[in-house]
Amino acid sequence: MTDVIHDLDTRRLLCPMPVIKTQNKVRTLSTGDCLKVVCTDPGALNDIPAWCRINGHEVLETGEQGNECFVVLRVGEDNGALF
Helix 44-55 to helix 17-26 angle (10° resolution) is 40
Where b means 16+ CB within 10 Å and e means fewer, 32-52 reads ebbbebbbbbeebbebbbebb
Active-site annotation holder among 15, 34, 39, 52: 15
Phi, psi of 57 (to 5 degrees): -105, 155
Active site (annotated) includes residue 69: no
**Any idea which residues carry the catalytic annotation?**
15
